[in-house]
Structure 1
Amino acid sequence: MRKFIILLAVALAACSAPTTLHQPPGAGKIIIDEDPGELSDDALATAMLLDSSQVEVLGITTVGGNTWPEEGAAYALRLLELLGRTDIPVIRGATADPRTRPDGKNYRSLPYAGALARPRPLGYRNLNETPRLGYPTTEPRDTTASEFIADQVKSNPHQVTILALGPATNLARAIEDHPEIVPLVNGVVFMGGAFDVPGSVTKDAEFNWWWDPRAAETALDAPFREKTVIPLDACQELLYDKEIYDRVVAAPAAPLSTPLRNLHGSIFAGNPAYSMPVWDTVAAAVFLQPDIVTDTSDRPVSAEPATGKAVQGASPAHVVSHVDPTKFWDIYVDRLAGGRTS
């Protein structure tokens, strides 16, 4: 009996021990599906991915969430201009409207409502406020995001990884309109969900999955051969502060040093103690360098289609719980300061 108890204790300890993410460094063809602001976490995640010589960005599709798709298109196009990468197409995508759901009617009382805080603009060159970094001179591609995703996957079978950094509206529509692409996708990296921490919009739901919960359910339930989820659990302790800001802008020749100084310099000058999460950059860093993950679990996950709450699903995913903060910030600074290493 004593031997059995000892063996059981060893087994339980092994089950609870942190598990790293055994994947190769991110490389190959990717699509970035995002809801970026001006040099927001989505935009900086894009810059990090573009800094890798091993990654080929096929396109950026914008989705409603933090910003309306028109706003996201303007900011993504301008970012690519700043980085000298206007060869990459930007596609205005779709958006859900949480105000049509029972849990979205009182959006003004939520701690964060994203694009709902502003009227939807008429176009990407007619925003409610002139972008601080200016309007782009380039134009988005004239197609739908779902069609672009499907076309790229079918043209590059088993080669395309989708970085789903915003609500899953575009991805879900691509799955629904072209179910044949699911087995052809190399993998999907989701930023979303809250598992063992409170949600960011409601007590249970993280913003991306709350904005379009039905789309989150559709995308998470799809049997892609590889799915990685970076939830709030892995992001909440990683805060961008003045020390990190100073490290990033220390290289004056880096393409984003001056824009970051223009946007963030006054914030830190007025409040040196200011800090903020960097959600989507964590997803980008995990994709680029999986060995920064210090704890992950493989489990079937989905989203509750009415609320966006993370629930048990039918299709397994790698769910990241923790990353090494020192390694993460080193990647963050290196990529944004233009110190490409791979």
Structure 2
Amino acid sequence: MSQKVLLDVDPGCDDAVMLAMALAAPDIDVVGLTTVAGNTTVDNTTRNALAILELLDAADVPVARGAGQPIVGELDTAEEIHGPNGIRGDLPDPSTEPVDQHAVDFTIDRARELGDDLTILAVGPMTNLATALVKEPDLPSLVDDIYLMGGSASGIGNKTATAEANFHNDAVAAKRVVRSARPRMVGLDATNRATVPLDDLDELLSSPPPLDAFGAWLDYPEEVRQFGEGSDPAVHDAAVVAHVLDDVLAFEPAHLDVEVGEGPFHGAVACDRRDEVGKEPNAEVAVDIDVEGFRALVDRTIERLRG
């Protein structure tokens, strides 16, 4: 039986790689996408999501537009990393429109409909998910698992010295989610090692669609590759789907909280894995990744896209 997944995304190049992996895998059933502002505006992330689905012959997957601003603070986009309008590569014009339902309500309805057959993967700012938890506090008990791509248990960030970009962009939402959702947090501690060698990049970029776009999604600027290992880019969001496919991540229980103040630790994660504060774990934290297993799944996706 295929694992049913709902993907909360802000495409974004690593989101696009993740979507390609999920859609190409026969044992994953993508029941919908919800979009959020993050890597770029929600107008762009919604259009990018529709265009990626069009490119990958999956335009029947419903897309629900979500939050355009963080709960508190100003949106801080990343077009300098992901490209104009939030994504690189040639994408077709979408032939479909978003569904006539907000992402929050779409998420709650899918959770009530599918129950513990559903896994939620949130890989952008946590605004939609936090709002869904306000409207439906039982959401975590309705579904199988809730995964987050965000945070840094080590306290070493990529947006600031201490904060990962998704948690930094909406720290209030991230705080609500780690406190209420009992999530599996896949942060930089694992995803900085979710790297893809670029040996075949030129071949991908010169291939017919959709492989040329897939290559463009991996072709991060040189200054961004420092967050991976060596010169290979880290494809953070893709690590989450890779684990759903093949258990490539190792998790440990921890008690988490998120700093929401406006100082230098805004969006930083306080992670207690040693029971220093005397509170029960409220999450599982990814502490390691099978790099070769992850890369094998990326290679398998490329072969499936090659046809």
Is the TM value for this pair above 0.5?
Answer: yes
State how far apart, in whole Å, the 1-side matches of 2:219 and 2:287 are: 31
Aligned to 1:144: 102
Unmatched runs of 5 consecutive residues or more in structure 1: 1-25, 108-112, 118-126
Classify 1:339/1:221 alpha carbon distance in 2 versus 1 (closer, same or farther; 3 Å).
Answer: same
State how far apart, in whole Å, the 2-side matches of 1:53 and 1:129 are: 26
Contact 1:221-1:315 at 8 Å conserved across structures: no
Residue 325 of structure 1 pairs with residue 291 of structure 2: yes
Contact 2:126-2:173 at 8 Å conserved across structures: yes
Residue 236 of structure 1 pairs with residue 192 of structure 2: yes
- Amino acid paired to 1:90: V
Aligned to 2:5: 30
Contact 1:228-1:320 at 8 Å conserved across structures: yes
Equivalent residue in structure 1 for 2:210, among 256, 259, 280: 256
Contact 2:175-2:259 at 8 Å conserved across structures: yes
Residue 309 of structure 1 pairs with residue 277 of structure 2: no
State how far apart, in whole Å, the 2-side matches of 1:315 and 1:34 are: 26
Counterparts of 1:160-179 in structure 2 under 5 Å?
A: 160-179=118-137
Counterparts of 1:52-201 in structure 2 under 5 Å?
A: 52-97=25-70, 101=73, 113-115=76-78, 132-196=90-154, 198-201=156-159
State how far apart, in whole Å, the 1-side matches of 2:153 and 2:23 are: 30
TM-score using structure 1 length:
0.73
How large is the RMSD of aligned CA atoms in angstroms?
3.4
Q: Report which of the two structures shows the higher radius of gyration computed on alpha carbons.
A: 1
Aligned to 1:287: 244
Residue 297 of structure 1 pairs with residue 252 of structure 2: yes
Contact 1:197-1:232 at 8 Å conserved across structures: no
State how far apart, in whole Å, the 1-side matches of 2:220 and 2:238 are: 22
SS at structure 1 position matched to 2:237: helix
- Amino acid paired to 2:110: Q
Equivalent residue in structure 2 for 1:336, among 285, 302, 307: 302
Query: Among the aligned pairs, what percent are the same residue?
Result: 29
State how far apart, in whole Å, the 2-side matches of 1:77 and 1:264 are: 19
Q: Which moved more, 1:55-64 or 1:309-318?
A: 309-318
Classify 1:315/1:84 alpha carbon distance in 2 versus 1 (closer, same or farther; 3 Å).
Answer: same
CA-to-partner distance for each residue in 1:200-248, whole Å, 9 max, x for gaps? 1122111111111111111111144xx321110112234334215368x
Aligned to 1:110: none
Classify 1:263/1:54 alpha carbon distance in 2 versus 1 (closer, same or farther; 3 Å).
Answer: closer
- Amino acid paired to 2:189: D
State how far apart, in whole Å, the 2-side matches of 1:308 and 1:339 are: 37
- Amino acid paired to 1:260: F
Classify 1:315/1:264 alpha carbon distance in 2 versus 1 (closer, same or farther; 3 Å).
Answer: closer
TM-score using structure 2 length:
0.81
Contact 2:11-2:86 at 8 Å conserved across structures: no
State how far apart, in whole Å, the 2-side matches of 1:339 and 1:64 are: 28
Contact 1:256-1:337 at 8 Å conserved across structures: no
State how far apart, in whole Å, the 2-side matches of 1:179 and 1:76 are: 27
State how far apart, in whole Å, the 2-side matches of 1:186 and 1:151 are: 15
Deviation, structure 1 residue 252: 5.6
Aligned length: 286
Deviation, structure 1 residue 49: 1.0
SS at structure 1 position matched to 2:68: coil
State how far apart, in whole Å, the 1-side matches of 2:237 and 2:70 are: 22
CA-to-partner distance for each residue in 1:28-49, whole Å, 9 max, x for gaps? 2110001003xx1101101111
Deviation >6 Å, runs of 4+: 127-131, 262-268
